[in-house]
Amino acid sequence: MKISVYYTPESTPENEIPDCAVVIDVLRATTTIVTALNNGAKSVKAYSDLDLLTKESNLLPPESRLRLGERGGKKVDFCDLGNSPLDCTVETVSGKQLFISTTNGTRSLQRVQEAKTVIAGAMINYQAVVDYLQEKQPETLWLLGSGWEGGYSLEDTVCAGAIASLLVDTGKPDMIGNDEVIASIALYQQWQDKLLDLFKLSSHGQRLLRLALDDDLKYCSQKNITDTLPIQTSLGLVSLSN
């Protein structure tokens, strides 16, 4: 397994695609996707374009679909929900097909949607991601953060580091695809017991705090509260792995 960490979809090498990509948007898109599937949503389809989301979700009867939309941390007006994992309760999402568009996370999912395997990872399920990768041993693996509008994010990098720290054997430099792997592991080692503190320092964490979403930050900073593993089953659509 050769592992590379990319902080944003924009920083990935052009015209390349890995065997397996783990898409990470800890605050909050992939945490929300994991939570929704854990709480019984049938599937989640990701869109970067809200018009397309509207058009495709209109093909389903209202009672079997939910639209989740976020821009700048806020709920998109016409959507049923924003992007808070705390809104994805069993009562709300069970049995529903979800259609989601967020500022950054859905763009990361789209960047790697042609990969043989695409997984959604977050702090709340990273051990399940590691277990899957250890079993499947993909030849090339990208841990892909979402960042914020093309820029670096602490929360996605620390999650990539949590995953990489359990996979990389530093005695085998051939496993290390780029320097970001070691940098992300170092960030994780420094902050692993203070993730909420780190998220409060991050720029998107501060944006969410300004929107009074403190509970979202707290929820997203928990480690491995579920073994739910969202995996892409058709282009842009993730469901539970079997």
Min. distance of Cβ 14 from ligand MLT in angstroms?
Answer: 22
User: Residue type for 179, please?
Assistant: D
Instruction: List, in order, residues 6 or more apart from 221 with CB less than 8 Å away.
Output: 123, 195, 196, 198, 199
Is residue 69 within 8 A of residue 76, CB to CB? The reply is: yes
Q: Is 25 in the site for ligand MLT (CB under 6 A)?
A: yes
Rg (CA), the chain: 17
x-marked contacts with ligand MLT along 65-84 as a string, rule CB under 6 A = -----x--x---------x-
Q: How far is CA 127 from the centre of its chain?
A: 14
Q: Is 104 in the site for ligand MLT (CB under 6 A)?
A: yes
| Residues 149-208 within binding reach of ligand MLT (CB under 6 A) | 208
Using the rule CB under 6 A, give the single segment among 24-32, 125-133, 135-143, 181-189 that binds ligand MLT: 24-32
Q: Tell me the C-alpha distance between 54 and 67, whole Å.
A: 8
48: number of Cβ within 10 Å: 18
Residue 77 vs 135, nearer CB to ligand MLT:
77
Cross-strand pairs, 140: 2
Using the rule CB under 6 A, give the single segment among 22-30, 45-53, 85-93, 161-169 that binds ligand MLT: 22-30
Number of residues that bind ligand MLT (CB under 6 A): 13
Exposure string (b/e) for 150-164, b if CB count within 10 Å is 16 or more? eeebbbbbbbbbbbb
Residue 83 vs 125, nearer CB to ligand MLT:
83
Q: Tell me the C-alpha distance between 191 and 180, whole Å.
A: 16
x-marked contacts with ligand MLT along 207-236 as a string, rule CB under 6 A = -x----------------------------
Residues forming contacts to ligand MLT in the complex (CB under 6 A) are 25, 27-29, 70, 73, 83, 102-105, 146, 208
